[in-house]
Amino acid sequence: MEVKTTKYSESINSNRRGNSSQKMKRGLQIEGYLLEGISIAGHETCIIVPSLNLAFDIGKCPQRAISQQFLFISHGHMDHIGGLPMYVATRSLYRMRPPTIIVPKVIKESIEKLFEAHRAMDHSELNHTLIGLDAGEEFYLRKDLKVRAFKTYHVIPSQGYIVYSIKQKLKQEYVGLPGDEIKKLKLSGVEITNTSTAPEIAFTGDTMSDFIKDPKNIDVLRAKILIMESTYVEDKTTADNAREYGHTHLSEIINFADMFQNKAILLIHFSARYQLDVIQEAISAIPPPLAGRVFALTEGF
């Protein structure tokens, strides 16, 4: 397993960002993916995967989310969608391609109204493509990349997303054939490849641990990387308390340890009450079989 934590200062480039809040870039290199962003319960959640050109939730629209073409929204709580109009407006300011925003179908109309209210005020176009997706439905980012929504269990309608890589593999019977024969077969209309999909990254957004037991969510637990919430990590707040708020307690993740086939699990959305050392201690105390493959996104703590 390949894990590297990177923290690097970025030179201040006020021409592009101007906000002192953005001088520090942080990220985790996990299983071949750079995962960036900020996630603090109640405050701001935005997870960025630059190599896939996408972000999960938008928080307050941190600067490095702006360059992502695709945005996936898990639910309508302010700390997850507050920066949505700003994201669209800022891409327009930079003359970037209008973004594609995928949201739970049930909040699509409200989001349209949000943009309508802004357009009425600022007389701008706020161009973007808005796509409503229900759990089980898929959206193709590219020919070789698709996203499927899955059911999560929060206090308001919510869903997570699984990113699948799609590969075309030559069928077994044609392996070893010379190139021009393969070409000839293909031109004659023969289907010479099989399509294989693999769950690369799953993102839960806010949810109770119930999503783990949902048999429809098997691919969430098979994704190479699972980015999941773990709002509470110590005993002062119990797993029952976590459930009351629609959230997950780290102890539940530990209890379900055997379910996770993921190569790495990135925990996000820790309660703002925690100091960094409390989170770090809780993570290092995780027992096998999860020990060593659970990481924490702690920017801002």
Q: Which residues would be at the binding site for a copy of itself (CB under 8 A)?
A: 14-22, 24, 26, 38, 40, 42-44, 60-62, 75-79, 81-83, 85-86, 89-90, 93, 107, 110-111, 113-114, 116-118, 120-124, 155-156, 272-276, 299-301
Give the pairing type, strands 145-151 and 138-142.
antiparallel
User: How near is the Cβ of 63 to a copy of itself at its closest, in Å?
Assistant: 9
- Residue 42 has phi, psi (to 5 degrees) of 80, -20
C-alpha–C-alpha distance, residues 151 and 74, integer Å: 10
Nearest to 202, CA basis, from 270, 132, 257, 263: 263
Q: Considering the complex, what minimum distance in angstroms separates the CB of residue 279 from a copy of itself?
A: 10
* Least distance in angstroms from the C-beta of 255 to a copy of itself: 27
CA distance 282 to 297: 13
Query: What's the rounded Cα separation, in Å, for the pair 279 and 29?
Result: 19
Reference 17, options 73, 76, 93; nearest CA is 93
Closest separation in Å from C-beta 233 to a copy of itself: 14
| Shortest Cβ 97–a copy of itself spacing (Å) | 18
Select 82 or 205, whichever has its Cβ closest to a copy of itself: 82
Of the pair 109, 138, the CB lying nearest a copy of itself is at 109
Of the two residues 180 and 277, which places its CB atom closer to a copy of itself in the complex? 277
CA atoms of 298 and 152, how far apart (whole Å):
23
User: To the nearest whole angstrom, how small is the minimum distance from the Cβ of residue 292 to a copy of itself?
Assistant: 26
For a copy of itself, the closer CB: 52 or 296: 296
Structure tokens, 126: 């706020």
Rg (CA), the chain: 21
| Closer residue to a copy of itself in complex, CB, 2/134 | 134
* DSSP, residue by residue, 83-130: THHHHHHHHHHTTPPPPEEEEEGGGHHHHHHHHHHHHHHH------EE
Q: Which is nearer to a copy of itself, 113 or 183 (CB)?
A: 113
Do 129 and 140 meet the contact criterion of CB atoms below 8 Å apart?
no
Half-sphere exposure of 104 (CA within 13 A, CB side): 22
- The minimum distance between CB 174 and a copy of itself, in angstroms, equals 51
Shorter beta-carbon distance to a copy of itself: residue 72 or 260: 72
3-state secondary structure of 52: helix
Specify the residue, 61 or 147, whose C-beta has the smaller distance to a copy of itself: 61
Q: 44: buried, middle or exposed (CB in 10 Å: 19+, 13-18, 0-12)? A: buried
Closest approach, Cβ 216 to a copy of itself, in A, equals 24
